[in-house]
Amino acid sequence: GVHCGACRKMSVYELHYFNNRGRAEPARLLFAAAGLPYRDIRIQSEQWPEYKLKLPMHQVPVLEVDGTMICQSVAIARYVAKVTGHAGKTDLEQAKVDMLVDGIDDVMTKKGDYVWHEKDETRKMEKKTAFYETTLPQFLSHFEKLLRTNNGGDGFLVGEGLTHADAWFLCLADDILLDFPDIFSPYPKLAALVERIRTYPGIKEWLAKRPQTPF
């Protein structure tokens, strides 16, 4: 059914994740941008073996909306964006937002591969080097171009306002800037976009008060 704006504000949102930014942070940014209250649950590792059995795919993040559980971080962020009006206005805008989010997700997965999955130290360094010398520059130069196609690139990634593509992009930026603070110097529009998202009302306050975690 269709919910009215007032009904949405009365829904109870609970976001389950660990105590880090990881794959829950895009949803947290979107809640913050909308000033939409939610319970920011951070699970302790000791609780995890039993906790996961209650979850749809035994993974987090999970967004619980009035008792219904939604998992998969991209699906969750898209849902929160829809509820808060940050999903893209037309079908084509939404497709563009989706495509950018999927591109960012691909890059995050590649990073995750060497950070978390590669156990061999030599291979890890090799993959990290390949990531920062090849994968990431290719990705950032595509994105600098894609941003510029949106009215010159001085606004957000798609359309006129913030969308979940921008939320995902900030999360990626936060991560890569830790390793390479100068990574955006060849990409001035993307660098300015990161600042624009950081100072977005609601997000700005969240960034100042959110738990500080290494990732």
Judged by beta carbon, residue 94 or residue 173, the one nearer other proteins is 94
Q: Which two tokens stand for residue 38?
A: 């939610």
Is 48 marked active-site? no
Q: How far is CA 209 from CA 34, 51, 140, 151, 167, in A?
A: 16, 27, 29, 33, 17
The reply to whether 6 sits near other proteins by the rule CB under 8 A is no
Is 116 marked active-site? yes
The reply to whether 72 sits near other proteins by the rule CB under 8 A is yes
Alpha-carbon gap, residue 61 to 3, rounded angstroms: 24
CB of 94 to other proteins, least distance (A): 7
From candidates 24, 76, 136, 197, binder to other proteins by CB under 8 A: 76
Sheet strands side by side (includes 62-65): 39-43, 13-18, 62-65, 68-71
Stretch that binds other proteins, among 45-53, 66-74, 179-187, 198-206 (CB under 8 A): 66-74
Q: Which two tokens stand for residue 193?
A: 């976009």
Judged by beta carbon, residue 102 or residue 195, the one nearer other proteins is 102
SS3 at position 65: strand
Q: Which residues bind other proteins (CB under 8 A)?
A: 1-3, 56-58, 65, 68, 70-72, 74-76, 78-79, 82-83, 91-92, 94-96, 98-99, 101-103, 138-139, 142, 146
